[in-house]
Amino acid sequence: MRSFIIFIFLLSNALAIEDIKLKNIILNKELKTYKNLTFLDSQREVVQLNSHRGKLIMLNFWATWCAPCKEEMPSLDLLKSNKNFTNLEIFPINIGKDNVKKSQKFFDNLQIKNLKIFFDNPNTLAKKLSLRGVPTTIIFNKEGQEFARILGSIDFSNKDFIKWLSKYN
């Protein structure tokens, strides 16, 4: 009985520590599958998410008027250039209805060099994915299933986040 109590104590502390380090991440209890998720590149060409199967995918929803988005974007840019992630695709999707010029100015001001700009399409991907605010990052496994969300801003260069995400690379 005593061993069991110690086990429960250690387990609960380990989970609490994980929650503190990765406080904005919500892991799905069940994987979510979506059909026909599309968004637009900077030339307004349609990008189909399912054409990137086999990759770990992050959709990061942001807007130029969003202060927390501005805060996290440089660390997202660094994550994109991290050589340890050979199988990671990052799609920063502007949902603020901004044009390419305004979005590019946002990226230029933050010295974003590794990421491309994408846009929500008229079918509103944000609505299909039930976004509640920005920034929000949705993470899909190699089979194209959503397994986690990051609600609010996060430091994508945080060593605990990198260690956690690398399990899925």
Q: For residues 169 and 167, what is the distance between their CA atoms, to the nearest angstrom?
A: 6
Domains of the chain: 24-166 (3.40.30.10)
Amino acid letter, 119: F
Per-residue model confidence as pLDDT tens digits over 116-162 = 999 998 778 989 999 999 999 999 999 999 999 999 999 999 999 99
Per the rule left: phi > 0, alpha: psi between -120 and 50, beta: everything else, 62 is beta
Beta strands in 10-165 (DSSP E): 25-32, 38-41, 46-48, 56-62, 88-94, 118-119, 136-140, 146-151
Per-residue model confidence as pLDDT tens digits over 13-38 = 333 334 446 789 999 999 999 999 99
Asked whether 159 and 79 are in contact (CB, 8 A), the reply is no
Dihedral pair phi/psi, residue 20, rounded to 5°: -65, -45
Global confidence as pTM: 0.86
Which of 54, 27, 26, 50 is CA-nearest to residue 38?
Answer: 50
